Chains A and B, each alone.
Chain A
Amino acid sequence: MTNSRCTKFFALLMVLLMAMFVSVGCSSEKESSGEAKKTDNTSNSDNTSGNTPQKGGTLTIGYAEEPDSLDVQKTGMMIGSIVGSNFGGSLISMHPKTKEFVPNLAESFDISDDGLTLTFKIRPNITFSDGTPLTAKNYKETFDRALDPATGATIIPGQFKQVKEILAPDDSTLIIKLNEPSAPFLVNLSDPGYMQPLSLAAIKKEGDNYGRNPVGVGPFKFKEWKTGQSITLERNNDFKWPAPFFKNQGSAYPDQLVYKFIKDYQTMIAALDSGSIDVAYGIAGKDVDRYENNNKYQVFEMDRQGIGLFLEMNTENEALKDKIVRQAVNTAINKEAIVQAVLNGKGRVAHGPIPASFFGYDPDVEKYDYKYNIDKAIKLLESDGWSKNDKGIMEKDGKELSFNLMILDRWNQPSQMVQAMLKDIGISIKIQALEAGALIEKAASGDFDMTFMGYFGVDPDSLYTFLHSSQINVMNHSRVNNPELDSLLDKGRKTIDLEERKKVYFEAQKLIVDEAYWVPIYSEKQYHVANKRVHGITQAFNGLLFQDSWVSK
């Protein structure tokens, strides 16, 4: 008797729980009106036309990672630079639409014809939030500090390798001399996070605590860091030197900018849905439709800057040394199917090692890359002397085509697809999931057959890290040692003339694709979602800018 009561009670409870779920589900359905899909690819997205910007309020941004330090020279994390960019600025900025460089903290800049001398005139009347005026000398001290090994700077030393000397002949003139022309240098220099001027006085005053109480020249100033929770910045009322492409040429509109660190993705979504945060970085493609169909939210879509997934082959492996085997692997992979299955179609097939969003991308790669064709792949292998044995695996001289594929957990699904696709042409794959540190270490030392990898970048110079022979044992996991490619990658670094530089990378792309060192698979789309109470968000190629933003109360 007790039993039947229990069952009834349990059934009732389940019904109640289900009702709860359904009602929650309904509410989000109801909110989605039939508004047209709005995926804003242009720069300014002011959704309430006719509204004038209001001062005040708090803009809250959710981000998965918490910075290690707000000393932008010491932080090794992207979020350190992202938060830092709000209390910083850069000599030059990249226009979000035209992608040209415009002066910012410099009122003008000049590059000598040989590309070796960069001269910047510092804009007058800029002050740090502690009141110190910004001079060329500040800038020189800033960079000197970063280049001093004792500082332990993370990003600048690598990006300043070509710098010969930095001079500040007077308060307003900053001269950077290079050993050799460097095209990526300007891109790097335009980062308002890492490359912002620092007040050495403040650094001295704060000592070890500077990373948790930074000072800068940006539209916001540091207010508070609640460890494990959030960083709060407040408006710098003296700020009147934004980049020229913003509408708002004065101080920022919101009183406060809060970065909230939410590690758990589901919690981030809940925080966005409940209004605890206004902007969420990094929403997955599978969740984006829900926000696009909901007129309370605006969705910002951008291409990943880099290749999100590619397969590296170890060219020192007995079988993978053979270019034809690598080409057969390339021909056997149906990238479109992977994009559909893994990304819900929210991404682009990667045809070559450079994503379509980069400078130097050659659209011709879409014609000359490897098209998915099993028969052709099998024929390639057969022409190379391989034949299927009784287990259905390609074999030559008693050796089978069977490889280990190293992956991270999140690449589980694509790795299984690749495994199945390669099985179709008689290549056997064993998947080995590793923790990130272990995978990178094995990849760097060449202790693998195949591995999945992804990269972020802004410039095709990223290929240098992955394919130049000087990077073997570091990031050149495929252990490519190709003098022709080396010279192209060297040349790409030093060529300032854009047309010529483009050609260099066109050639490099063709060579890399022909040699089939990698199987480039996809570049996923990335999404940031914002509540529509935030107006005037500017979308830049690598993130969101808030100088024109204001919040309705």
Chain B
Amino acid sequence: MGQFILNRILSGIIVIFGISVFSFLLIHFIPGDPVKIMLGQNATPEAIKQLNENLGLDKPLLVQYTTYITNVLQGDFGTSLKTGRPVITEILDRFPETVKLAAAGIFIAIVIGITLGIIAARFKSSFIDSGVMMLATLGVSIPSFWLAILLIMVFSVKFTWFPIAEGTGLRDLVLPAVTIGVLASTMISRLTRNGMVETLSNDFIRTARAKGLEERIILFRHALRNVLIPVVTLIGLQMAALLGGTVIIEQVFNWPGLGTLAIGAISSRDFPLIQGTVLFMGVVYVMINILIDVIYGIIDPRIDLSAKEAR
């Protein structure tokens, strides 16, 4: 197990290295002189030279990258061109809000998704089943901004139950979290249902039923545990994606998370901030993935992680 985790971390580091190279090169992909674009047309030649030196753009690429990565390792992601504050401060200001939103959204997704999945499986081929699966299809096809705007129009504007763009308190959290939850639940419910249907047709379930066990115990104790593995993977992946900032949902609900930070950075051509957020999101994504692999082993002891790796 220890060996496996080590391997996963090592491969994670390689991926992160790749991301760092990519985010570093980002600034060099810009057509034209990035410094001129950053400073605008009225920039004096001195200012251009100054920024070129500050960003180290006058040095060879390899030297630039080494400096960049050394600084990053020391926690220095550079300085935001717009606000003049350290990039890491800007990111850490926003990250907790994104975590809050992602956690609340995933929580709602799990509750809705697993509940609906179990119900659909329990009443397989009935109208309840097709209804739930219809909902899931609908959920996958609804664009997130559409659902977001619909919820705002109904619950903020018409009924004024939940505020819009007021802050990041519990009441503010409800609508964006429900939007994320509803959309993310669709995949979960589908996966849960299919897994359950498959598991429920197994011999051991038939045995359990024959023993006269309560349906509740069969569903939750015997069947659900077997279904959880792919579901947890999915949830993990969704969580990782959400932690990168749900750009559209954050934008529509004016949620001050990483997504809106990234959008703002792009629209104000704040390159150090763009680089920083890309790298940060990448690291988070990789770390969550490693975490999921570890959780596997805990949920299902049958998975011998080191053995799988050795194969």
Contacts and interface: CB of A to CB of B under 8 A. Distances in A.
A, B co-complexed: yes
Interface of A: 2, 5-6, 9-10, 13, 17, 20, 23-24, 27, 62, 66, 68-69, 74, 158, 208, 211-212, 226-230, 260-264, 266-268, 270-271, 273-277, 437-438, 440-441, 444, 474-475
A274 B160 contact: yes
A2 B157 contact: no
Nearest to A62: B165
A69 B263 contact: no
Interface string B151-187: 0111011101001111110000000000000000000
B69 interface: no
A441 B158 contact: no
A20 B149 contact: no
Contacts of A68: 82-84, 268
A249 to B, nearest CB: 33
Contact of A263 (B150, B153, B263): B263
A261 B83 CA distance: 15
Top 8 A-B pairs ranked by shortest CB distance? Answer: A228-B256, A271-B165, A437-B37, A274-B156, A273-B157, A68-B82, A227-B93, A270-B152
Contacts of B263: 263
A396 to B, nearest CB: 34
A62 B166 CA distance: 11
B190 to A, nearest CB: 15
Contacts of A69: 83-84
A228 B131 CA distance: 40
B84 A276 contact: no
Given A20-B154, A208-B84, A227-B94, A262 B134 contact: no
Given A69-B84, A227-B93, A270-B153, A13 B138 contact: yes
A441 B149 contact: no
A441 B32 contact: yes
B59 to A, nearest CB: 23
Contacts of B268: 68
B151 to A, nearest CB: 10
B158 A23 contact: yes
Interface in B255-284: 256-257, 260-261, 263-264, 268-269
B31 interface: yes
A440 B269 CA distance: 14
Given A9-B130, A267-B152, A226 B256 contact: yes
Contact of A276 (B37, B149, B163, B264): B163
Given A227-B94, A274-B157, A260 B31 contact: no
Contacts of A261: 254
B295 to A, nearest CB: 31
Given A24-B158, A68-B84, A440-B41, A6 B152 contact: no
Contacts of A2: 125, 130
A158 B44 CA distance: 12
B134 A441 contact: no
A155 B282 CA distance: 38
A336 to B, nearest CB: 33
B165 A260 contact: yes
Contact of B134 (A9, A226, A444): A9
Nearest to B258: A228
B94 A228 contact: yes
A74 B268 CA distance: 16
Residue in B41, B84, B260 with the greatest tally of chain A CB atoms within 10 Å: B41
B98 to A, nearest CB: 11
B252 interface: yes
A22 to B, nearest CB: 12
A24 B159 CA distance: 10
Contacts of B94: 227-228
A267 B130 contact: no
B122 interface: no
A441 B254 CA distance: 31
Contacts of B83: 68-69, 211
B269 A267 contact: no
B84 A229 contact: no
Given A263-B254, A274-B163, A24 B260 contact: no
B40 interface: yes
A474 B158 CA distance: 50
A267 B165 contact: yes
B238 interface: no
A440 B252 CA distance: 29
B130 A438 contact: no
Contacts, number: 120
Contacts of A211: 83-84
B74 to A, nearest CB: 19
11 contacts: A9-B127, A10-B138, A24-B158, A68-B82, A226-B167, A227-B256, A228-B97, A267-B152, A270-B149, A270-B156, A441-B37
B138 A277 contact: no
Interface in B44-93: 82-85, 90, 93
Interface string B292-307: 0000000000000000
Contacts of A277: 165
Given A24-B157, A68-B83, A266-B252, A441 B36 contact: yes
B201 interface: no
Interface string B236-258: 00000000000000011110110
A24 B150 CA distance: 10
A69 B131 CA distance: 53
A359 B254 CA distance: 39
A533 to B, nearest CB: 14
A440 B39 CA distance: 12
Contacts of B251: 263-264, 267
B264 A263 contact: yes
Contact of A229 (B153, B154, B156, B167): B167
Nearest to B263: A263
Contacts of B130: 2, 5-6, 9
Contact of B164 (A6, A23, A230, A267): A267
A441 B36 CA distance: 8
A274 B166 CA distance: 11
A27 B257 CA distance: 32
A264 B36 CA distance: 28
A69 B125 CA distance: 60
A295 to B, nearest CB: 17
B42 interface: yes
Contacts of A229: 167-168, 254, 256
Given A262-B165, A270-B156, A440-B41, A9 B93 contact: no
A441 B48 CA distance: 14
